Structures are given as C-alpha cells and as structure tokens.
Chain A
C-alpha cells in the first residue's frame, strides 16, 4: 500500500439541505406500480377497451336504474298507441321523427293515433308498450341471467380446474375425460334438454347455462394451476405446512385472477347470446317478462313494416356483445403485455 488515499476532512460532514435537493433532481425513477395499477394504466391506454368500459357502465346504470326511473311502465298495455315509430324530439330525420310509410305515403303516426304531444324514443310495440322501457327491462333481464350464470360457472369452473390441476395424476385424467364428454355435445343442445326438464323460465335458463359453460374456465384454470404448483412459492408454502385449502385461497387464486377475469369477459357475452337464442326459438323467457331475445323475436315478426321494432333490440344486443368482447381483448392485453406485439 504505497499510495494512501487522502480524503479531505469535509467529505465526512453531513450534506446540507441544498445539496440534498440537488442530488434528488438527478434521480430517474418512475413511481413503482402494483400489478393492478399497471394493468389499469394499460387498459386506459387501449381506446376500444376504455370506451367499452364506459359504454357498459352506462348500459348497466340505465338497465338497473330503470327499476326506479323508467320513462314508462314496460308492461303497460295501451292499444290505441300501438306500433308508433320512434320519435325523438328535435330530430327531423325520417325514422326518428314519428313518421312512417303507410300505403306509399309518409304519415305522422303520432297524429293518427291522437298523441301528437307524446314521444316514444324507440317507439311502441304491437300492444302499445313503450319499446325503450321494454328494451331497458329486457337488457336488465338478459344481464341478470348472464351475470348470475357466469357467477355460478365461475365457482364451478374455478373449483373444478384448481382441484383437477392440483391433484394431477389419475383424478386429473378422469376429470378431463368428463370435460371432453361434455364438450362433445353442442352446448345449446344440452341447454335445451336441461330447460325441457326444468320447465322454461328464468331460473332454469340460468341453471342450464351455468351447468354447461364452465368447461372452458375449468380447462384454463387447470392449465395455469399445473404451471403454478411447480413454482417455488408454492413449494415454500407447502414446506411451511400450509393446508391445500389455504394455498388455494392465499397463493393460487390471486395468481389465477387475471385468467379468471379475462375468461369471464368472454363468458358473459356467450351467456347473453345463449339466452337470446333460446328466447328467440321460444323456450326461453316467457311473457310478460321480456329479454333482448324475446324482443328480437317480437320485432322480427313485423320487420317488413315496422323495422324499428327489431332494430333497437338488435342494436342494443350487438353493442353489449361488442363492448364485452372489446373489453375482454383489452383486459387480456392489459394483464399480459406479452400477448401484445
């Protein structure tokens, strides 16, 4: 040690407050984000998904808000105002101004019915019920069916998938065979058979959809569980003597949450679609209850002359499906940035 470093005396003094701020300004660091914050940030960047989220929020608020505030009673029959086209005050475009073509002439249907001072945003149906209120009501029923069915299928699918993936071996093989058998019958056929046994109605539709659509969730959750259970933190938990139930809730479920949320976003539109199909065929919701499917079925009968009666429910149904699909895509990209190129 020939050279000894001579440090000046003042380098051992505490730095002054001025110097400290000068040092901080050189720091380059973004605030550290949690996984959820990060996903949320990415979701907001995705325009389609963000708009879908807002649209869905509006649809939910309107559909469920209509329990308390509805423009008209969705079931109030008023034959003298039957089949009025949509009329939105202030809009003069044909199709929204309450006029309709009758015997080759465009006439004001509201004047004919003696209701010039009234306006129905989406018009009325063949019994004079306000279509807007009915669409809100139908959307609510469709959403309730889809959400409850999805909730059930979440529970069945996640439990089944976790159990199968965790146990592995023979139990896993048998459980997967069962799923394959269920998958080898088209879902709608099974749903129809179940509804026949349970008698048509809202509860049986929910049960039928829930009992058939969990397979996809179970498969995804199983695959993810098999991957997770090999990882060190699960091994650590096992070594520490945690019970499988505790591991499932504390360690597996949080790590599975993104898969579960994404898949739910695709299960909901599927359930809405199944419900609409069933009601459209005529074994779904029965009157006076209405869903988007029954509204479509009613509207389709008069489509040639009163096309708006089908356009409105079709539009609402398509928008809901579109929004869920876009949101699902956005969430997938947000939770797993690797999938996005």
Chain B
C-alpha cells in the first residue's frame, strides 16, 4: 500500500510538472501582448513594465523562475489586476467554487442514487421509465441552459432564490442545482445498471431465501454492492463540474475560479490562466488519486498493488 501510494504521488508530481511546463511554453506561443494600449506607450515605459513582470529575461530563465515559484505556490503577478499576485487572487476565489462544486456533487450523487435504485427495484414499470427519462434528460440538457432557466423561473418569476451574486447558503442553491444535474443523471444511470445486475445475483437470492425483509435485502445487500463501482465515476463527474462551473459561475456572477478563468481568457491574463490550469489539474489529480485509493479500501476484492489486469 505504502509503495503504491509513493508511486502514485510520484506520478502526480510528474504530471503536474509536465502540465506546468506545457502550459508555460504554450503561453509563450500565444499571440498578442498583455499591454492594452501598446501604441500609446513609449519604448522605455514598455521596458519598465516588462521588467516589472520579469518578461525581459530569456525564456528559459523565466521558466526556471516560474517553476521555482510554482513549487512554493507563487504563480507570478496577474496582468489584469496590477500588483495582485495570482496566488492571492486564486486563493480568495477558490472557496465559492469548491463549495458549489462539492454541494453539486453531493446533491447530484445522492439524488442520483435514489432515482437509480428506485428505477432498478421497479424494473420495467413506469417508475423505471421515468427514472431513465430523468437521467437521459439530465445528460442532454447543457448545464448553462438549465442555469438560465432556473435563474429565470425559480429566481425571477417565483422569487424563491436570489438570481445572482454571492452571499449565504441561499445564494448557492440555484448554481448547485444547475451543476448537479449531470452528476445526478450520470449516477442514476450508473446505479440503475449496477443494481439490476446485483439484484439478479446469487447472494441476493440467498438473502431472500433466508427470509430477510425486502428493505433489508435492498439496503444491506443490493444497495451497498451497487454503490461501490460508483466511486469510479467520481473522477469524470469532477471534470464535468469543473467544466460546467466556468459557465454557471458566469451566469450567476459567483466570484469563483471558473468565472475568473473565463475573464482571464478574455483579457489575455496569462499568469492567471496558467495558475488556474495548474490548480484545475491539481484538483483533478487529487480526486483521481483519492478515488483510486478509496476503491481499494471499500472493495477488498480489488487489490491495488497487484493490478494485473
């Protein structure tokens, strides 16, 4: 286990190193300069600005400096907001994104499990059909369309929730719903398929034969065994939420990193884009590592160390 963990962490660091390197050189390839009105600036002014941001050094030196900084959590200074370090900008914005992302994940997966297991239990009835319909619909409607519809109907027309901004918990409800739709649909689909499989297995027959109650069979045997593989889709769902958050945060004007990413892209704020790319892949790597380890712990049938297949 310890050996496996060490290996995985080594790969995580290697991956991040490659991500940093590739994004750095990609950013150097980008057309355009960070200066808004280059024509209005004199040569010496431009030189001063370049010096301030360290852009006057040779590329390899900039790269080494950036790498050294990144290890210590320093991603340079934002081009968009002068004198604002990227790390400060991001750390002040990551909170709302994490909160909404986690809420969406928890909400989506829990409701998804309920919908999916009802579908499997009442297989081939109208319950099953409507559960399948909900999950197909959730996958087919893009989160940003859902966000606008929720904002208009629940926020503006009915006035139940604030339509935008960031405040207490009530402000997170609509974005959570919009982002949680896909995880809900995906996990409902997944749980249904798994549970249909599990329900026809021998140990369920045995449990029924022993005379266990219906709820006992479902809760203790069927549900638990069908939930384990659900861990494997947490990674892809995390990607989905990260992607969705870029647009959803924009729609609800939430001061999160997704909104910042779009803003930075539109204003050519390279250091912030780089910092965000690294943060995103770091989060994703951690989620993937975490789910892999968890999978091994929860299901003893899968031994992490001897992944022969």
The one of B26, B200, B288 that contacts A197, using a Cβ cutoff of 8 Å: B26
A29 within 8 A of B: no
Secondary structure class of chain B's binding surface, majority of residues: helix
CB-CB < 8 A to B123: which residues of A? Answer: 341
Q: Are A196 and B30 in contact (CB under 8 A)?
A: yes
CB-CB < 8 A to A60: which residues of B? Answer: none
A269 to B140, CA, bound (A): 8
A168 within 8 A of B: no
CB-CB < 8 A to B276: which residues of A? Answer: 189
Q: Are B285 and A280 in contact (CB under 8 A)?
A: no
Binds B, one of A75-83, A102-110, A318-326: A318-326
Q: Are A273 and B142 in contact (CB under 8 A)?
A: yes
* Min CB gap A325→B, angstroms: 6
Candidate in A189, A277, A296, A317 with the most chain B CB atoms within 10 angstroms: A189
A199 to B140, CA, bound (A): 29
Chain A 260-292 interface 0/1 with B at a Cβ cutoff of 8 Å (1 = within):
000000000100010011001111000000000
The one of B140, B200, B284, B285 that contacts A325, using a Cβ cutoff of 8 Å: B140
CB-CB < 8 A to B144: which residues of A? Answer: 276-277, 280, 296
Q: Are B136 and A280 in contact (CB under 8 A)?
A: no
CB-CB < 8 A to A281: which residues of B? Answer: 246-247, 250, 262, 265
A121 within 8 A of B: no
B232 within 8 A of A: no
B102 within 8 A of A: no
Q: How many A-B residue pairs have CB under 8 A?
A: 102
Instruction: State which size class the interface on B falls in.
Output: 35 or more
CB-CB < 8 A to A276: which residues of B? Answer: 142, 144
Instruction: State which size class the interface on A falls in.
Output: 35 or more
Q: Are B280 and A186 in contact (CB under 8 A)?
A: yes
The one of B141, B197, B261 that contacts A189, using a Cβ cutoff of 8 Å: B261
A181 within 8 A of B: yes
* Min CB gap A287→B, angstroms: 16
A185 within 8 A of B: yes
Q: Are A321 and B140 in contact (CB under 8 A)?
A: yes
Nearest-neighbor residue (CB-CB) of B139 within chain A: A325
A-B contact pairs, 20 of them (CB 8 A): A177-B11, A184-B284, A184-B285, A185-B19, A186-B239, A186-B242, A187-B239, A187-B243, A189-B276, A193-B26, A196-B273, A197-B26, A197-B30, A276-B144, A281-B265, A282-B262, A310-B148, A317-B142, A318-B141, A341-B123
| CB-based closest 4 A-B pairs | A322-B140, A321-B140, A188-B243, A185-B281
